[in-house]
Amino acid sequence: MTPSSALPDETVHDAPSARQQAVLDAVLALLVEEGDQLTMDAVARRASCSKETLYKWFGDRDGLLTATVRWQASRVHAGRDAGSALDAATLRDRLLDFAVTWLDVIAGRTSVVLNRIAIAHAGSRKSNLGGIVLANGRLAIGGRVKPVLEAGRAAGFLTFEDSETAFRTFLGLVGRDIQIRLLLGDALDLDAAEIRRDAARAVDQFLALYGQARP
């Protein structure tokens, strides 16, 4: 199927092979352990492969970074958003689930490091890692939350005009200043219990703002 060996240019456009995934995992590990001064030499050493192979597979340093971000993004997308029977309690549960998941992600070491890379990159233009991170983070979860909000509105549990605005308020209530503080190096380690509490508070506040007053 894949035109693998015919072309000289076989940089990774499609899904990475198992060996390539191992390389990308090495990059992630290196990124998490060391700060972000990731060198190609270090990657090659860590992944036990040659730099030449690295360049053959990923083109250049940017390509490697891009592939890494994509690879990480591909493992996060595991959301169960089946079901459509929506009562007030399940609506709340769904929102709570999103909030917990979101906080788990942004508080994770990997997310912090990858966001740092993408942000640093956004400064020196070229190859928008920022766009990729944005698309796979905020936008992806937005695409899954907004339908739930709209279903909630259709069922009469929520009131709002613009689902995007409502969603962004939700994000604000959940994330608050956590992400920027982590990115700036604030210690601030959230354990699972605190995340659950934060998420619950955010959902309560969101419902207080957008929910119908219980008659």
Partner DNA sequence: GGAGCCGCGTACCGTACGGTACGGTACTGG
Partner DNA sequence: CCAGTACCGTACCGTACGGTACGCGGCTCC
Interface contacts to its own copies, rule CB under 8 A: 35-37, 113, 115-120, 122-125, 128, 130-131, 133-134, 138, 168-169, 171-177, 179-181, 183-186, 205, 208-209
Q: 51 contacts which partner out of DNA, its own copies, none, CB within 5 to 8 A by kind?
A: DNA
Q: Which stretch binds DNA (CB under 7 A): 45-53, 93-101, 137-145, 152-160?
A: 45-53
Helix (H, G, I), strand (E, B) or coil at 211: strand
Cβ(130)–Cβ(121) below 8 Å:
yes
Instruction: Mark 160-173 as b/e (b = at least 16 C-beta within 10 Å).
Output: beebeebbeebbeb
Q: Which stretch binds DNA (CB under 7 A): 36-44, 109-117, 160-168, 187-195?
A: 36-44
**Contacts of residue 168, Cβ cutoff 8 Å, sequence gap at least 6:** none
Q: How far is the CB of 133 from its own copies (least distance, A)?
A: 6
Indicate whether 35 belongs to the interface with DNA (CB under 7 A): no
Q: 144 contacts which partner out of DNA, its own copies, none, CB within 5 to 8 A by kind?
A: none
DSSP label at 168?
H
Q: 88 contacts which partner out of DNA, its own copies, none, CB within 5 to 8 A by kind?
A: none
Single out the residue of 2, 11, 14, 39 in contact with DNA (rule: CB under 7 A): 39
Cβ(146)–Cβ(81) below 8 Å:
no
Closest Cα to residue 190, out of 116, 104, 115, 110? 104
Helix (H, G, I), strand (E, B) or coil at 158: strand
DSSP label at 185?
T
Which residue ranges make up the site for DNA (CB under 7 A)?
5, 19, 37-41, 44, 48-53, 55-56, 60-62
